[in-house]
Copies of this chain bind each other. A is one copy, B any other.
Amino acid sequence: MEASELQQNIARVAEIGPIKVWSVVVTVLGDLLQAPADTLSARQLDALVAPMGINNQALRVAVHRLRNDGWIETHREGRRSRHQLTAKGWAETERVRPHVYGEAPTRSGGVFLIVGPPQMAAPEFAELMPEDGTVLTSRSGLVVGAEGVPSNWLCTPYNEASPPDWVQDALSPKDISSEYDALREVVMPLLKAELPEDLVARTALRLAILHHWRRLRLRHGALPDLVLKDGWAGARCRDVVLDALSRFERPALSSLE
C-alpha cells in the first residue's frame, strides 16, 4: 500500500459514519494504553488521529473536554505533554473491552421473552425495560438475563431458532445494520492489500477501523448476537473487523515514540 493509497483508505474508513473527536480519543487511548500506568504523548495522539481528518485545534478541544469529565489526565514533561487514563477512564475502558474486542456475546444468563401487564402504558413499559433489552411491541420485549425484570412481568426463557422479520428488524435497526455493512465493505479489501510499512500510518488505519466498530458495537447489547447469531450485519462485520485488527496489530507503545 502506497502512502497516498493508505491515506485514502484511512479517510474512506473514517467516512463511513459520523465522527466525534472526543470519542476517537477514547478509542485511541483505550486501545493503546493497556495498563493503568501507560501514557501516550500528545504529539503521537495528534499523529494518529490526523489521518482521520482531525485537526490539532479540534483535538485540543476534545482532550480538554475529556480532562474536565475526569476521563484523562495530562502530565507535562518539559515542553511535551503525555496523556493517561484516570481511574474512572481506565475502569470504563476495562468495562467495555470485552464488548469491543470479544469474538462472541459477552453476557450470559440466556435470553428471556418478557410481557408487561395489560393495564401498563407502553411508555412505562419501555422505561422499566432492563438495560440492553429490546422492545418488541407495546408491552413485550427481549432481555438478556432475568435480573432487573419487574416481578409482576411475565418472563420466560426465549428459544426460537428463526424469529420473524419484525423481530430481526427490532434487534438490528436498519441504521446500525447499514453502517455495519458499510464498515465491512470498506475493510474487506484491506485484508488482502499489502501491509502498510509506516507504523504510525498502519496504526492510524487500525484505529479508524476500531473506532467505527467500537462506536457501533456500543450502541447495542448482546441481544442481536444471542438471538440472530451469525445472521445479522453486526456478526458479519465482526468477522472482518477482528481479522483487520489482528492484521493491523496493536503496536507496542514504545515503538510509536
List residues of chain A with CB under 8 Å of any chain B CB: 113, 115-119, 136-140, 151-160, 163-167, 170
Contact across chains for B140 and A152 when beta carbons are under 8 A apart: no
**CA of A116 to CA of B160 in the docked complex: distance in angstroms?**
14
Given known pairs A152-B164, A164-B152, the reply for A118 and B139 (CB within 8 Å) is no
A160 contact from B139, B155, B163, Cβ within 8 A: B155
Contact across chains for A165 and B152 when beta carbons are under 8 A apart: yes
Given known pairs A154-B163, A167-B154, the reply for A138 and B139 (CB within 8 Å) is yes
Most chain-B Cβ atoms within 10 A of its Cβ — which of A116, A151, A153, A166? A166
Contact across chains for A151 and B164 when beta carbons are under 8 A apart: yes
Given known pairs A152-B166, A153-B164, A154-B164, the reply for A138 and B159 (CB within 8 Å) is no
**CA of A139 to CA of B163 in the docked complex: distance in angstroms?**
16
10 closest A-B pairs by beta carbon, nearest first, are A152-B164, A118-B137, A137-B139, A117-B166, A156-B160, A115-B140, A156-B158, A140-B140, A113-B156, A156-B159
Q: Nearest residue in B to A150 (C-beta to C-beta)?
A: B164
Contact across chains for B160 and A159 when beta carbons are under 8 A apart: no
A152 to chain B, nearest CB (A): 4
Can you list 11 A-B contacts with CB-CB less than 8 angstroms, sorted by A residue number? A115-B115, A117-B137, A117-B166, A118-B136, A138-B138, A152-B165, A156-B156, A156-B157, A156-B158, A156-B159, A156-B160
**CA of A253 to CA of B118 in the docked complex: distance in angstroms?**
51
A227 to chain B, nearest CB (A): 10
Contact across chains for B166 and A118 when beta carbons are under 8 A apart: yes
Name the B residues within 8 Å of A167 (CB-CB): 154
Contact across chains for B136 and A115 when beta carbons are under 8 A apart: yes
Q: Nearest residue in B to A115 (C-beta to C-beta)?
A: B140
A111 to chain B, nearest CB (A): 9
A78 to chain B, nearest CB (A): 61
Q: Nearest residue in B to A166 (C-beta to C-beta)?
A: B117
Contact across chains for B165 and A154 when beta carbons are under 8 A apart: no
**CA of A155 to CA of B156 in the docked complex: distance in angstroms?**
11
A74 to chain B, nearest CB (A): 49
A222 to chain B, nearest CB (A): 18
